[in-house]
Amino acid sequence: MSLKKAYEQKFEAQLKEWNAEIEKLKTKAGKAKAEAHIAYHENIEKIKEKKKKWSKKNWLIFAPPGKMPGKISGPGLKKPGKILKKPLNRR
């Protein structure tokens, strides 16, 4: 084998090794990208859920006057209403 042929084989072997390393890094990068995408998606969903809970809790506090519901009801609101009506009915 000539010296030239030996260098060509060495060069070819090095190219194959680098190509394999490149493919390995591409695979690793793709996996990291997918994992990051999943993590971001999970964080977005958590924030959306917090926003939804907060909005439900605080809607009445921050709602514009024209957007307030006509009737506010609930088990805790009926009893104070009855208590307030009793003194008014005595007159």
Q: Please name the residues in contact with 60: beta carbons below 8 A apart, sequence gap of 6 or more.
A: 68, 69, 72
pLDDT higher than threshold 90 for residue 38:
yes
Q: Please name the residues in contact with 68: beta carbons below 8 A apart, sequence gap of 6 or more.
A: 60
Give the integer Cα–Cα distance in Å for 26 and 29: 5
- Domain positions in the chain are 3-68
User: What's the average model confidence in pLDDT over 8-37?
Assistant: 94
Give the integer Cα–Cα distance in Å for 16 and 41: 37
| Residue-wise pLDDT tens digits, 39-91 | 999 999 999 999 888 877 776 676 666 665 555 555 555 555 555 565 555 55
Give the integer Cα–Cα distance in Å for 58 and 64: 12
Element (H, E) at 5: helix 3-62
pTM attached to this predicted model = 0.46
Element (H, E) at 1: none
